[in-house]
Amino acid sequence: MRQIGEINISPIGLGTVKFGRNTNVKYPHPFDLPSLKDLRVFLDLAHALGVNFLDTAPAYGESENRLGQLIAKQRHDWIISTKVGEDYQGSSVFNFSSKHTRLSIEKSMKKLRTEYLDIVFIHCNDNDLENLRSTDVISSLRAMQEKGYVRYIGASTKTLAGGSYAIDNTDLVMVSNTSSQLPILEKAHTKKKPTIIKKPLQSGFSTNIHSSIKKALAHPSVASIIVGSINKAHLRANIKYATSL
């Protein structure tokens, strides 16, 4: 286990896009959404293998709602991160206002059937620096954090400027597994801020899974990497690679 503040978090986290949405996604192969029964078996296996981190978002279709049905009775077994700022209505719609941020968190908690969220990321678009610097989203999340609804806040960023601003103004940052993001990982380590790696397997396009996982987990600032999977064999292999480092 690794650390985000007082949270013990598994080095592999489950990305849950495939739990709730299969339209307008960038995976190499089409897929059907799993049944709730199949997802329950999958989550039980993940937990048995040591995974305790689930990453979801309003933009992931029915993911939050389905997770709420699946883990409500085991809420304390899981670390849950969700997001604010992006919704999916056939295409992505972004809103970083204070009102939308508050309502988004309230909706997420209701769907996830929980009274608190462990981590909330700002789901940035390509203008991530402006999303963070020129809106009320960070201050709104801090207000929700002070009320006890959110334990840690962060941002899922795309640019060096956005990632750097997130490190300075939030608790953690989520970045892609690319060499261009190395300055963000280094700054986070210097500032003693944790990082999360998204798309470590390049949305299924990686040709060397073991190497990709090793690379993503190698930096000392990285607390966990998010792997989106609904395949039990892939899950077992990914966890094996992560725990062999």
Pairing of strands 150-156, 172-176: parallel
Q: Name the burial class of residue 205, with classes exposed (0-12), middle (13-18) and buried (19+) by CB atoms within 10 angstroms of its CB.
A: exposed
| Long-range contacts of the stretch 140-148 (C-beta < 8 A, 24+) | 140/98, 140/101, 140/102, 141/84, 141/101, 141/105, 141/170, 144/101, 144/102, 144/105, 144/120, 148/116
The first and second tokens of residue 93, run together, are: 């719609």
Q: Which residue type occupies 186? A: E
Could you tell me if 48 and 74 are in contact, meaning their C-beta atoms sit under 8 angstroms apart?
no
Residue found by looking up tokens 């940052």 in the block: 173
3-state secondary structure of 1: coil
Of 241, 234, 184, give the one whose Cα is nearest residue 215: 241
Could you tell me if 30 and 242 are in contact, meaning their C-beta atoms sit under 8 angstroms apart?
no
Pairing of strands 86-88, 92-94: antiparallel
What residues act catalytically?
60
Q: Which residue type occupies 211? A: S
